[in-house]
Structure 1
């Protein structure tokens, strides 16, 4: 077998493979260097019967549900030891003669490592933006074994451009799956891609994929953006709580009950947290066109809209101030036992307070708004012991079809003890099947520790340690409402804050 370059003048180079004796054409290879080098080989397998038998063997495999921050699909076990004739035959060809040829083209000695599995993508399955980086991976491949497929079915292989910091920017090319087509690309600092969400209910996107292994390309140092700015509380007193918060949560006895429950589980959801009329006012105002929304990225880390604070309607801005206020910091201290205010007792004061009858009496007389349960002299002592000023950071976010956040190395390395707060405005018709829920996982583990689903006016509080990370699950196609054959987008909003002692 030999190959001949046909056209050097165009961006896309076609390479024609022919048998030297018969002259029979086997396939075309299309090579494109934008946005990063990749090639497409159509009619990769010469026998239609072989393709059909390969499909049959693959569909008879056991598939496992795979779901985390980055993906949702079904995957087979590793195929390197499967003995079915067509699976083993393809494996031998790929990692034998084809690997040798590929190594010659790249002028790289590819290792005889077999790395191949089968994936089934069905309705709402997706693989979000990533670069395939892992030690030893040199060239990625995908062999499509799909029924007739259109771009409207989703499941395209989307390729991203990158900026000067090697962050993905935007999709500039989408490859529609096609039966018996092989796609190859070199794993590099710029090889960001995704499998877009499958939108058809009637088809299965079946593919074989894996990597040819060899010496990894040199990677530049990872660029880390500046940390999110944090601010101390705003000087607002308890009148703000009285105006906004459901009175039941201002009862000191109920606050004690909440704190006991929170300390047992490190999380709690406080339903009907805002007064009903205030919640409705904010919910209606969030849909006003005056709010300017900015897409948050890069797509290998996050994708959602964040509000520009200087464009918020007055009631929404007031709700933001509530969550940043000194009174609210103190209320959170009473809910959680965390030291988010100097009036909150330090850990080493708690035991002394248990034996102090005077402080018990002061506790009974405390204001329903969450006033200090300590005497002025004790508060002064706590202030002297204060090691740091409690701070917070926050966003007002809009979630719609395609929104998500991903776990990433920078987040893991910067992980801290923190209190997360989410206050959703989502509507009664938002279902868990749509996505948009927040998952907490242990660092480097897939197992979910906790899932928090968006629920109207339900304040979620979660305390996490340095080994706990969080992500928001991809909002899928189910979130679109089909009305008179015209899809409309459901969306929801939330205030997302993080508080640090």
Structure 2
């Protein structure tokens, strides 16, 4: 039954009494079970305490009203390294004359709902309650995180979708953790069932234990709708940081290579001295470059064939990445391919985190080399999989690199500039690409020989010189560097540290 508007005289709605909690949820036996769960004594205590309150609201009309008003609300598309989804502003910002049910629901959460949660859990909550709407549609996802932030105590979500099938994706996924509190394998999946109020404990003292995510929604035309947020406490106790992840070993590049090897592998157009000068000048001016058909056709085909037949190992941890890393031990003795290669297919990604930001600062200036291998000439841009460069505390994307067959990307980045690989969603189907990803570090000031010599080169090789043309002869001038996009007008909100009001962790679930 559709909800009537506030001004419908034939069937008025009393929004003040619209939201009432199912009284069975305060049954003494049920309350005891909830508190045992929070104390770690029941099956729902694993992998971390979580409680599902089915048939939460007694009046079905309340759910209809919430869905109707959310259907009229303004939704903003959010896309960062961590998530892709739509969300509303916080309900506190809604106009009660236009959205009376949503405003009444927030009042309910801060009054009766808060009192109910304290009776149920025995936890003294303060008056702060954050709540907003979240909507996941096809290819939307929220990757693993733990919600530890500020004074959050309980993350909650009220599911509003009338019907939801498991094969549509979009389930809430809970992760086990290892002894260092990093997430490991999937422990449990919970479907977004209508009128289920699910909440879980955020334990700041034990460590990072509440790892969870929202599976990608893979069904076209389906919307996973919920209202979600956090209850807070005044004293969260001492918060424990994650131990540092073991870093990949840094090695010195080998110079054991001769000119014939270079000629065999690199497209000869890029070996010509005049073209190298053009490349050098363009890179000095832009600090990034894309070269098409970088390898010779013969070597590219040879390497691609070996990459497709090689073996790969899923590599995490899930809060940082999921990639298929080349298993070097399984390569043939005379293999044409080398290490530092990842296979990227549906479900792969890499994220930015605090350790990455610290490492970027400590490592100093960096030169990235990316070399892509794949069957198709271009990658489906709607499928994710691009590499995005962002500053540690800046919400704007600096640079985007899209995978291109036999394309080489070169990026010079300053300290505190991070990169991530956007989640490869279901729109990539069964397709994949391979990427050779190398980063060369320097603790210098960043004044490279290329930069300092640019002015000298312009004097030595002016535009009228017979020996040098300022217009490169190949597909890497400014008009054709289409693998790199400066998205100053992009709607993508790539935040290394998103604004708290806009961060929809899976309390936005």
TM range (shorter): 0.7 to 0.9
Distance 1:216 1:253 in 2: 63
Which ranges in structure 1 are unaligned for 5 or more consecutive residues? 15-29, 321-393, 481-488
Instruction: State which of 137, 153, 174 in structure 2 corresponds to 1:138.
Output: 153
Shift in Å, 1:452 = 0.2
Higher share in strand: 1
Aligned in 2, Cα 1:12/1:238: closer, same or farther, shift over 3 Å?
farther
Query: Which residue matches 1:263?
Result: 284
Distance in 2 (CA, whole Å) between partners of 1:441 and 1:130 is: 19
Q: CA deviation at 1:292?
A: 2.9
Q: Are 2:438 and 1:497 equivalent residues in the alignment? A: yes
Assess, with a 3 A threshold, how the Cα gap between structure 1 residues 213 and 424 changes in structure 2: closer, same or farther.
same
Q: Following TM superposition, by how much is the alpha carbon of 1:31 offset from its aligned partner in structure 2, in angstroms?
A: 7.8
Counterpart in 2 of 1:39? 51
Q: Cα RMSD (Å) of the superposition?
A: 2.2
CA distance in 1, matches of 2:31, 2:90: 39
Q: What do residues 337-358 of structure 1 show as CA deviations (whole Å, max 9, x unaligned)?
A: xxxxxxxxxxxxxxxxxxxxxx
Provide the secondary structure at the position in 2 that maps to 1:165: coil
Aligned to 2:302: 281
Residue 456 of structure 1 aligns to a residue whose secondary structure is coil
- Which consecutive unaligned segments of at least 5 residues does structure 2 have? 1-22, 443-509
Q: Give the paired residue count.
A: 402
Match of 2:473 in 1: none
Q: TM-score, normalised by structure 1?
A: 0.77
- 1:191 is matched with 210
Shift of 1:319: 4.4
Q: Which residue of 1 aligns with 2:368?
A: 420
Report the CA distance between 1:231 and its aligned residue: 1.2
Between the aligned partners of 2:192 and 2:435, the Cα distance in structure 1 is 36
- Larger relative contact order (CA 8 Å, sep ≥ 6): 2
Which residue does 1:463 correspond to in 2? 412
Quick check: which has more Rg, 1 or 2? 1
**Aligned to 1:228, what secondary structure does the other structure show?**
coil
Superposed CA offset, 1:159-191 (max 9, x none): 000000000001111111111111100123200
Residue number among 230, 237, 244 corresponding to 1:224 in the alignment: 244
Aligned ranges for residues 8-157 of structure 1 at < 5 Å? 32-82=44-94, 83=96, 84-157=99-172
Q: In structure 2, how many angstroms separate the alpha carbons of the residues matched to 1:152 and 1:63?
A: 25
Distance 1:249 1:210 in 2: 54
CA contact (8 A) 1:307 1:397 kept: yes
Measure, in 1, the Cα distance between the counterparts of 2:123 and 2:365: 46
SS at match of 2:355: helix
Q: Which of the numbers 153, 156, 173 marks the counterpart of 1:158?
A: 173
| CA shift digits 1:188-210 (9 cap, x unpaired) | 32000001000111221111010
2:318 aligned with 1:299: yes
Q: Is the 8 A contact 2:37 2:49 kept in 1?
A: no
Change (3 A) 1:108 1:414: same
Q: How far did 1:105 drift?
A: 4.0
Given the alignment, which residue of 393, 406, 426 partners 1:477? 426
Equivalent of residue 350 in structure 2, options 367, 384, 405: 405
2:379 pairs, out of 426, 430, 444, with 430
CA distance in 1, matches of 2:146, 2:33: 29
Describe the SS at the equivalent of 2:142: strand
TM-superposed deviation, 1:253: 1.4
The change in CA–CA distance for 1:435 and 1:47 in structure 2 (over 3 A counts) is same
Q: Is the 8 A contact 1:422 1:460 kept in 2?
A: yes
Query: 1:318: Cα distance to partner?
Result: 3.6
- Distance in 2, matches of 1:413 and 1:447, equals 19
Does the Cα contact within 8 Å between 2:170 and 2:217 map onto a contact in 1?
A: yes
2:23 is aligned with 1:4: no
CA distance in 1, matches of 2:293, 2:355: 35
Q: Is the CA contact (8 Å cut-off) linking 2:177 and 2:209 kept in structure 1?
A: yes
